[in-house]
A = this chain, B = another copy of it.
Amino acid sequence: MKGLLIVISAPSGTGKTTLVNMLMKSHPDMAFSVSCTTRKPRPGEINGKDYYFISLEEFEKKIEKNELLEWAEVYGNFYGTPKDRVIKALNEGKDILLDIDTQGALQVKKNYPDAVLIFILPPSLAELERRLKSRGTEDEETVEKRLLIARRELKFATRYDYIIINDKINEAYKKLESIVTAERWKTRRVREHFPELIKDREMLQLLNCK
């Protein structure tokens, strides 16, 4: 069966990374899409794992050739999702997970309407601020910047297919996993795969008769 393209967005501090890691761990077949970027690698970042680090020229060529499923410029750096790898994996039956911002997610939906968009909400902005501050890894200015971006991103949540409120992580995870499972059994998807799924010729004929 063709894989699912799952796009997850959430403001920083919502618990998205934890949820994505839980999902990847319990679905070893699921592939995580590695973005390409023109920004320089940070210490410890591995090319091909964290990002594909490419030059601005290479990036521009990819845009021209329509080789990106989505892309955006953020503070002077370019980020994008290489289309060929995603489409190849989907055709091989692998589900692909994209962890991108709202700008990118809505581009993906436009270019690949079959994508499943999931937005994860914090219970409140106050709780988001509390979580960001309790990390202790970012200074106040960075926290303020993240909250500003969060406010901007929240405006696009209702354009997603699903909205999960991450109040309790295990409950949020159960919802996320259920969405992935349920989406596979939507009639329009199952239908495309009747010949693989159903070996009974008469049944196949009956199912396809309307």
Q: List chain A positions with a Cβ less than 8 A from chain B.
A: 119, 121-126, 151, 154-165, 174-175, 177-179, 181-187, 190-191, 197-200, 202-203, 206-210
Do residues B165 and A210 form an inter-chain contact, with CB atoms below 8 A? no
Which of A125, A179, A185 has its CB near the most chain B CB atoms (within 10 A)? A185
Residues of B within 8 A of A200 (CB): 123-126
- Contact partner, A158, options B179, B181, B187, Cβ 8 Å: B187
Closest chain B CB from A177 CB (angstroms): 7
A200 to B164, CA, bound (A): 16
A163 to B207, CA, bound (A): 11
Decide if B182 touches A183 in the complex (CB within 8 Å).
yes
A153: nearest chain-B partner, CB-CB = B206
Q: Which residues of B contact A181 (CB under 8 A)?
A: 174-175, 178-179, 182
A185 cross-chain contacts in B, Cβ below 8 A: 162-164, 175, 179
Residues of B within 8 A of A165 (CB): 197-198
8 Å CB contact of A206 from B151, B177, B191, B197: B151
Chain B residues whose CB sits within 8 angstroms of the CB of A206 once the complex forms: 151, 154-155
Q: Is the CB of A182 within 8 A of B187?
A: no
Number of copies: 2
Smallest CB gap from A172: residue in B: B185
Q: Are A155 and B209 in contact (CB under 8 A)?
A: yes
Residue contact A210 to B159, C-beta cutoff 8 Å: yes
Q: How far is the CA of A137 from the CA of B130 in the complex (A)?
A: 63
Nearest neighbor of A179 in chain B, beta-carbon distance: B182
A124 touches B162 (CB 8 A): no
Given contacts A165-B197, A198-B124, contact A210 B177 (CB under 8 A): no
Give the complex CA separation of A166 and B156 in angstroms.
Answer: 38
- Check B199 against A124 for contact (C-beta < 8 Å): yes
A123 — which chain B residues lie within 8 A by C-beta? 198-200
A151 to chain B, nearest CB (A): 6
Most chain B CB neighbours (cut-off 10 Å) among A122, A163, A164: A163
What distance in Å separates the Cβ of A4 from its nearest Cβ neighbour in chain B? 12
